Amino acid sequence: MIRTITNRFSWKFGRCLTQTCSITSDTSHCQNATALKVNQPTELKESELKEITNPLRFPDYFGVRNLFRLKDLFDAKVHYGHKDGTLHPNMKPYIFGSRLGHIIFDLDKTTELLQDALNFTAHIAYKGGIILFVSHYPQHTLTVENAAKEAGEYAHAREWDFHLLTNSEKIYKGVTRLPDLIIMVSTLNPQMQEHTAVRDAAKMCIPTIGIVDSNSNPNLITYPVPGNDDSPTAVQLYCNLFRDAILLGKSKKSEIPSS
Residues at the contact surface with another protein, assessed by CB under 8 A: 9, 11, 13, 15-23, 50-51, 54, 56-57, 127-130, 132, 141-142, 145, 148-149, 152-156, 158, 161, 164, 171-172, 174-177, 179-180
At closest approach, how far in Å is the CB of 251 from another protein? 17
Which residue's CB is nearer to another protein, number 30 or number 130?
Answer: 130
The most distant pair of C-alpha atoms in the chain lies apart, rounded to whole Å, by: 59
Beta bridge partners of 211: 225
Residue type, 209: I
- Separation CA 43–CA 121 (nearest Å): 27
> What is the three-class DSSP state of 17?
strand
Which residue's CB is nearer to another protein, number 145 or number 244?
Answer: 145
> What is the three-class DSSP state of 244?
helix
- Separation CA 224–CA 68 (nearest Å): 18
Which residue's CB is nearer to another protein, number 20 or number 258?
Answer: 20
Which residue's CB is nearer to another protein, number 92 or number 158?
Answer: 158
Helix residue ranges per DSSP H, 129-231:
141-151, 168-171, 196-203
Please count the other Cβ atoms lying within 10 Å of the Cβ belonging to residue 149. 13
At closest approach, how far in Å is the CB of 62 from another protein? 16
At closest approach, how far in Å is the CB of 204 from another protein? 13
Which residue's CB is nearer to another protein, number 74 or number 162?
Answer: 162
Strand locations in 15-153 (E): 16-24, 80-83, 95-99, 102-105, 131-134
At closest approach, how far in Å is the CB of 252 from another protein? 13
At closest approach, how far in Å is the CB of 155 from another protein? 6
Which residue's CB is nearer to another protein, number 111 or number 208?
Answer: 208
- Separation CA 38–CA 44 (nearest Å): 11
At closest approach, how far in Å is the CB of 18 from another protein? 5
